[in-house]
Chain A
Amino acid sequence: MAEQPTATERFVQGILPENPVYRQLLGLCPALAVTSSMQAAVTMAGAVLFVLLCANVVTSLIRDLLKPHLRIVIFTLTIATFVTIADRFLAAYLYQMSKTLGPYIPLIIVNCLIICRCEVCASKQSPLTAAADAVGQSLGYGLALASIAGVREILGTGMFFGLRVLPPSWPDWAVMVLPPGAFISLGLLLGGVNWYSQRNAKKN
């Protein structure tokens, strides 16, 4: 079996080199659906961090008990447990945000990013490495959501985190807050990231 990456490597890789959205193209539904404002994007990233961290650690603890043909079921059940906790928590303490995010918190259960991390890292490595991996990947995911939401919120409403950053005379590009704006922003940012990394690769 090939050498597995260490905890530090897992942590660093998740943020930029293997960014979930820009590199692995995972978890794109929420990246499109909840990025119309920074607040929603950050809450989503927080929920993903909680679920991924808990699911990774639990999966890693029981990794010796996993049977190959049953592992996906076990992953899904583990994830669903923590997603339910996150969902109920948001509904209890951040009711408005929970309304805004709608079905996208329960849908974290089927977010392929989390099942991918359970499969790739947690089911094979120690709880510490799995936790580092979860935090790194979640940070990368949060960074990606924030970058999309930042572009959309600033252009679409002239605000950032609900605070006005552009002059009031700024004409709001309403289309950027609407669904087409999500596809346009994600596509252009993805293109930008590819362009940047290709340019760097050429230099080295």
Chain B
Amino acid sequence: MTWALRDAWTVTLRDLQHWRRQPAGPLIGLAFPVLLLLMFGFLLGGAISVPGGDYLAFLFPGMLVLAMVFGLEETMTAVQQDAARGVTDRFRTLPMSRWAVVGGRAGADLLSSTLGLVVLLAGGLVVGWRWQGGALAALAAVGLLLLLRVAALWVGVWLGLALRGPGTVVAVQILVWPFAFLSNAFVPAQSMPGWLATVAELNPMAATVTATRDLFGTPGAVDATWASEHALLLAVAWPVLLTAVFATAAARRYARLGR
């Protein structure tokens, strides 16, 4: 196990070396959610009315969640590139831990997403967002966000192994948007037509959005629907379920490389 961890750390360090060599990509990745926050918060926000009346307070948890979901593109791109360039095969011929290839990926991506959260939280504080609840509740919110990132990680690993070809990353980057808009991240689900509202509330993102809003003490965070009232439970259950499904599928994909 210690070797597995050491190998994983070596693979994680490789990604950190990438950041040092090519800082532009990660920097854009960090800046993009901040840019979105500014665009939605100040360009569009004036025309959107939300329960509680404060759009920035409503939007901000949604942006944090979106930043976590974007992470799956980062994971998928890295996994796909390593497979295409033969680096995955090189790893598979080394006397290293099998688990460490994905473990190292997880380490690097969670580090990068944690950094992304810190940057976005700082950006939020700069433009006037404040959490209203306790510090412990705020930390719990961050925990939920990282849990969602773990789920996105496994979806990304699976997509990276399952889909080949450079066009597929772009396709996923595009499809993330309708997926994100069909949630309560930007507008309240209850403002949508009935059946769409139900779909939006059952979007795995939505539970984390509602739960983090609630933990940050955002006024009007919780609607009088089942999904909204059980948001905390769902915000744990969804990522756990997604992780279980996609980690299994990814492990199977990985094993099938050799079968």
State yes or no: do A and B come from one complex.
no
